[in-house]
Amino acid sequence: MAWFLNFYRCDRCRRMWTDEWSCTCDDECPHCGFRNMSPFNSEDLTELIVEEAGKFVVLRSPEEAEDDPDYQELGRFSTRDAAKEFLRSHQPD
């Protein structure tokens, strides 16, 4: 399932917040309760490359994920470039 970090700015109180969702959906302002605020930007977090113990780990949120990304490890690589190449060539099941 796709996973996004959405960035919001409230039209009423002008405060900003972020929230993770499985889509780029509208949200309610956590500061004043104003509703139906659309994200002004979103970062796709479906696939990530994280550095761990000197390796670059490729993670993907599976189709079955619902309330959280439930990342699954797809591979470990010695360089970030190798991890990026893997993602370019590896299609989801």
Residues 59 and 26 in one domain: no
What is the residue range of 80's domain? 46-89
Give the SS3 label for residue 18: strand
Residues 55 and 85 in one domain: yes
Nearest residue to 48 via CA among 70, 64, 27: 70
**pTM of the predicted protein model:** 0.80
Res 35: pLDDT: 97
Q: How are strands ordered across the β-sheet holding 16-21?
A: 16-21, 4-9, 41-44
Residues 39 and 16 in one domain: yes
The first and second tokens of residue 46, run together, are: 């479906």
Number of domains in the chain: 2
Res 91: pLDDT: 77
Local confidence pLDDT in tens for the 93 residues of the chain: 789 999 999 999 999 999 999 889 999 999 999 999 999 999 999 999 999 999 999 999 998 888 899 999 999 999 999 999 999 998 765
Residues 51 and 27 in one domain: no
